[in-house]
Amino acid sequence: MNTIPEPTSPEALSRLAEELTDIAERSQRLIADFTENADKLNTGETQQEFMLIGQTFMQYAMKLAENPIQMIEAQADLWAQYSSLWQNTLQRITGNEAAPVATPDAGDRRFKDAEWSNNIIFDYIKQSYLLTSRWLVDQTGHTEGLEPHLAKKVDFFTRQFVDAISPTNFVATNPTVLKETLETRGENLLKGLQNILSDMERGHGQLRISQTDMEAFSVGENIAVTPGQVVFQNELMQLIHYEPTTETQFETPLLIVPPWINKFYILDLRPENSFIKWATDQGHSVYVISWINPTEELRHKDFTSYMMDGPLAALEAIKTDIGVQKVNAIGYCLGGTLLSATLAYAAKKNMDSFASATFFTTLVDFEKAGELSVFVDEDQIQAIERKMRDKGFLDGAEMASTFNSLRSNDLIWSFVVSNYLMGKEPFPFDLLFWNSDSTRLPEAMHSFYLRNMYQKNLMREPGGISMGNVPINLGDIDVPTYFLATKEDHIAPWPGVYQGMKRFGGQSKFVLAASGHIAGVINPPTAEKYSYWTNEQKLDEQEDWLESSVEKPGSWWNDWQSWILSNTGQKVPARIPGKGKLSSIEAAPGSYVKVRS
């Protein structure tokens, strides 16, 4: 490359010396900081977590030892596959064509460089990895006598391991990285080392992989910019009322309850993909809860606190503000779980305050909770509770790491290769900025959520949990409900969402959207992207529902709008935020959302 000086030129040597000096100084500071603050970095907890993983595989190994014949047969099968690979490679070496023994999955982007197929050595490395990794994962599903939860843990951690040892993650076995290293004379590796140091500095001694350019976005300036006013606030949330974009609005306002694991502006990234703006354009008077990013002072806030100071407090504020008696409510993920509990509580208390409820990717029956259930056995919950005991909350980075591990190739290893091996700067991407803007979780709330929902699955049982000392029953909920699930959701798997819907009383509609937990929800009609499935039948099994459903192109947003029209009331003059009974406190998106972890 012409822009790179000759390696022996004075300019190159001077720049190299400066960069190496900078790396050495930053490394020394990090080592000193780590040594001084090792007790704050949960190094003991990390060791215990590794011990728990080790115990898992010890139990797995004991089960394998109980059936040596099965293991011998599995080994023979692997050797047979390798024999085919060796013969295939020998044919290619002698100039003959040979069909590959193992090929990457259709969506696997790790091996897109043509050298992985054209170069015999790299093709052999790729196929060897694919054979071995698939064999390892397959064994976890074929081991007899393995307790289901243990089998799920072994499968999850095995897939984490095989993702980590992919040849794409190492300089010597990645042709793309080798090519870049030769062309830049190692500049990529030097820059990658600087990127590692920057990420460790950002994590105060722990590696926090940059997924995007965090300086490219500013909440309220070029992200979360839909105009509105904060009209109410308490310890846990601010209530934002958005400005109308139509002369008239539906009489019944819309209250959105987002999750507090992440921030609300996933629904308001940019004007062109903002659900909040789109809903105002359809004539809804939109209110959104913006949760606080809690500190130790709020460690005692439990699930009931979030209900009382969240949707119920927002409901009363809206009633005061514009004089209505009912709202249409939307709950997203954990916000939907809270909304479900709130509706059941309101039913017990004879509160007729909800005209309808919509749930985006929400679990209330956690039997089919997917891979997150790996983290909620007793040992791991105790480990999480020990972490929270010192601080009063679970750090947002801990939860972000857990979610990232569910898609480790996309959300971890792709950035390791790009940032550290290729030496590239992270690309500005609003969705990944939001994903990195994590929030803390109060100790009392999170412990209750993990134990009563994920571990014991009590919410689905009538009277299984109590909110404000009131035993609740999802079957008491008789308002019309709309359930949206997404087909590739790793956080709230659609079969679990479907089974949870059946716990509700009243009329329910279930819609399945393509893509995952975020992209399947944030899919505006103008994008003309993905598709969704509908079925007017409410069948016992989700597979039967899907088989007899109708696939429709594009976004589900218009389908939801058609559904909710029967619960919106008459048209009234548009309400102006801050001009009702509640005055403006500050402009949207408010100050709570800007507090970083």
Query: Residue 575 gets which letter from DSSP?
Result: P
Residue pointed to by tokens 């596959």: 81
Q: Are 311 and 318 in contact (CB under 8 A)?
A: no
Within 8 A by CB and 6+ apart from 207, the residues are: 196, 199, 200
Spatial separation of the C-alpha atoms in residues 147 and 61, rounded to whole Å? 13
Cα dihedral sign, 200-204-205-211: negative
- The per-residue b/e assignment along 423-449, b for 16 or more CB within 10 angstroms, e otherwise, is bbebeeebbbbbbbbbbbbbbbbbbbb
Within 8 A by CB and 6+ apart from 247, the residues are: 573, 574
Spatial separation of the C-alpha atoms in residues 342 and 149, rounded to whole Å? 31
Query: Residue 40 gets which letter from DSSP?
Result: G
Q: DSSP readout, 129-182?
A: HHHHHHHHHHHHHS-TT--HHHHHHHHHHHHHHHHHT-GGGSGGG-HHHHHHHH
Spatial separation of the C-alpha atoms in residues 328 and 395, rounded to whole Å? 32
Q: Give me the catalytic one of 329, 330, 333, 341.
A: 333
Catalytic residue list contains 524: no
Q: Are 210 and 195 in contact (CB under 8 A)?
A: yes
Q: Are 459 and 453 in contact (CB under 8 A)?
A: yes
Residues with a catalytic annotation lie at 333
